[in-house]
């Protein structure tokens, strides 16, 4: 059970890193300070990557907690 959880955790970690690196970097701190657009909706692949990142981050959090519980 522990080795399966560790394998899933590693796969989720690699996927999360990949999804974060694929995101558009235009909406960073400059956008919050007024240098960017005030509002821009996500469309197409950008929206899929954004939602995938959220789901993967939640999965990463769950597998992290489970690995702490199952020792």
Report yes or no on 31 lying in a domain: no
pLDDT reported for residue 46? 87
Report yes or no on 24 lying in a domain: no
pLDDT digits (tens, 9 = 90+) for 25-67: 765 555 555 555 555 666 788 889 999 999 999 999 999 999 9
Report yes or no on 34 lying in a domain: no
Range of the structural domain that residue 51 is part of: 1-19+42-71
Residue 35 has which token pair?
């240098």
Sign of torsion over alpha carbons 39, 44, 47, 53? negative
Residue 4 has which token pair?
């399966």
Give the number of domains in the chain. Answer: 1
Residue 25 CA to residue 51 CA, distance in Å, equals 16
What is the pTM for the complete model shown? 0.75
């Amino acid at each position: 059970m522990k080795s399966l959880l560790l394998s899933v955790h590693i796969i989720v970690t690699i996927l999360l890193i990949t999804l974060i690196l694929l995101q558009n970097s235009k909406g960073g701190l400059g956008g919050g300070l007024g240098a960017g657009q005030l509002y821009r909706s996500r469309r197409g692949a950008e929206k899929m990557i954004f939602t995938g990142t959220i789901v993967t981050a939640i999965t990463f959090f769950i597998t992290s907690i489970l690995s702490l519980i199952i020792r």
